[in-house]
Structures are given as C-alpha cells and as structure tokens.
Amino acid sequence: METRSNHVLVGAVVLILLAVLALFTVWIARLGGTTEKEYDIFFKQSVDGLAKGSSVTYSGVPSGQVKSIQLWRNDPQFVRVRISVNNETPILQGTAATVQGSFTGTSTISLDGARKGAPPIVCPENDMASQCPYGVPVIPTKTGGIGAILNSAPQLLERLSTLTERLTGLLTDRNQASIAGILENTDRLTNALADRGPEIAATLAQTRVAIQQAGTAAEQIGALAATTNGVLAEDVKPAMANLNETIRSAKQSADTLNGAIADARPGLQTFSKRTVPEINQLVLDLRQMSQSLASVAEKVDRQGASSLIGQQKLPDYKGK
C-alpha cells in the first residue's frame, strides 16, 4: 500500500514538473518572439497561386505571411486577404500591395511604396466601419506583375482581334494588286533615277555654282549699298547744310519784311483814311472842270468867241 502511494506521489510530482517546464518554455518563447500586426488587403484581380501561409515581402524582404483568403461578401469582385507582418515592418502611408507571381505557380504578396516620415496606416476612430470593416487597417492595392498582365489581357486580345480584322480587310486581292503596282512603280522610278545619276550630279554641280554666284552677287550688292550710303553721307550732308542755311536766311528776310510792314502800317492807315478821300475829291473836281471846259469849247465852236461875252440873240419874229 505504501509502495503504491509512493508511485502516485512520484507521478504527481513528475506531472507538475512537466507542466511547469511547459509553461516556462511557452513564456521563454513569448519573450524571445516578436509580435505581429494584421492587415486586410482587398484585391480586385485574380490571386492565382496565393494560399494560406504564402509569403509576404516588403521591398523583397520577408516580413510576414498570409493568414486567410476569401471572397468579400459585400462585393464578390474583391478578394479579401488577411496578412500578418512583423511589428518592425514600416507599414506607412503610401504603402501598396501587389500580387507577384512566379513560373513555379506560387504567388506572394509584395509591399512597397512607403514615404519617409509618413504616418503609419491605422484605423481612424471616427470612420471605423468604412475604413476598417473587419477591425484591422486596410492596405491599398496596385496592379503589377502578372496581375497587371492578366487584367489587361482582355483589352490586349480585343485590340489584337481588331488589328487582325483590319489587316485582313487591308490585304484584299484588290489592295494587294495595288500594293504590287506601287512597288513596281517605285522600282521603275528607282531605276530611272539610277540611270539619270550623272545628269542629277551635273544639275547639283550647276546648282552649287549658282548658289555661289548668288552669294557673290549678294556680297557685291552689300558693298554697293555701303558705297551708296557713303555717297549719301558725303554729298547729301553739305546740301542739307546749305538748304538749312538758305532757310535761315529766308526766315531772317521774312522777319525783316514783317518789321518794315509793321513800321509802315501807321502811314498806310493815314494814307488810306485821309489822302485817298482827298484824291478822290480832286479827281471828281477835275472831271467836272474838264466837262465845263468841254462845253465852253463846244459853245465857242458853234457860236464864236462873242458868245462868251454877249447874250445870245433871240431869233426875229415875223407875223403871219
């Protein structure tokens, strides 16, 4: 009985020691481990090759892993990916996430684009429901790598199809015949130009000579213009000086004449106001005197000189 009690006591002590050792190991592991932060990423593209446990890198440095992948129930076009990264990873404003594929078929999430000095990405307290719908900060996405190619593949295929249709319409039998005629005409023109090579070379030489002659003529015209300017400067300047001197002399004469007129103006006014009326009266008197003399002369001529001193005889009256 005592032996059995001893075995139970030893077993209980061993179990207690094992539990303490396990707790100590977990405590040590927590002390030596690093804390992680979780973020959500909403991809509006295919996430082929991405799975739970896939690597998360920041600028190529392993920084975490994918925790879960599922369709976003609010909008099935989006895929919600929950990731966890080391606490030292700088998830700052400007950081964006992309899906990076590989030839092996596996994909990883790549983070980059953080700006130096930018604040970290956190959930705002005033808009928690829209900015952090699942209680953790959301990292924005950008299209890159294979994802960009896959997203643009439909547009590329559509453009290739349109280009193929246009090329098919362009390369009809009629257009091919036209293109063949154009090529044939181009060949003929090339051969004609090759045959006319010496004449073209001679024409170019003549053109070069004409250009040189034109340059020489331009230089001569420039020299002639300079000579003309010199002649104008030497001959016209003295003539202009003489003309200016003549103008000054004429001005002085005009000033002198104006002064003489001003001095003679009182005499002219007296002459016009007094002398001219007296002369008019004298002319009138002379006209009257000449008329009187003319009548006297006529009378003397008809009646004789006695008519000037005697009375005129009346004619004799004879009765009937």
Contacts of 80 by beta carbon, 8 Å cutoff, 6+ apart? 40, 41, 42, 69, 70, 71, 72, 134
What pLDDT, on a 0 to 100 scale, did the predictor assign at position 147? 55
E strands of 134-237, at which residues?
A: 138-139
What pLDDT, on a 0 to 100 scale, did the predictor assign at position 314? 46
> For residue 249, how many C-alpha atoms fall within 13 Å in the half-sphere facing its CB?
6
Structure tokens at 207: 């053109």
Q: Mark the ranges of the chain whose per-residue pLDDT is less than 70.
A: 1-7, 26, 28-34, 103, 144-154, 228-243, 250, 253-254, 257-280, 282-283, 285-286, 289-290, 292-293, 296-297, 299-320
- CA 310 to CA 275: how far, in whole Å? 42
What torsion, rounded to 10 degrees, do the Cα atoms 182, 185, 189, 191 define? 120
E strands of 93-179, at which residues?
A: 96-100, 108-112, 138-139
Phi-psi region of 180 (alpha: psi -120 to 50; beta: other; left: phi over 0): alpha
What pLDDT, on a 0 to 100 scale, did the predictor assign at position 239? 61
3-state helix, strand, coil in the chain (%, to 5): 60, 15, 25
**What type of residue is 210?**
A
Q: Are 118 and 93 in contact (CB under 8 A)?
A: yes
Structure tokens at 193: 């130009």
- CA 158 to CA 164: how far, in whole Å? 10
Rg (CA), the chain: 66
pTM, two decimals, is 0.41
What pLDDT, on a 0 to 100 scale, did the predictor assign at position 45? 83
Number of residues in the chain: 320
Pairing of strands 61-71, 55-58: antiparallel
What pLDDT, on a 0 to 100 scale, did the predictor assign at position 174? 80
What pLDDT, on a 0 to 100 scale, did the predictor assign at position 80? 94
**What type of residue is 208?**
R
Domain range annotation of the chain: 35-145, 160-192, 196-274
What pLDDT, on a 0 to 100 scale, did the predictor assign at position 209? 82
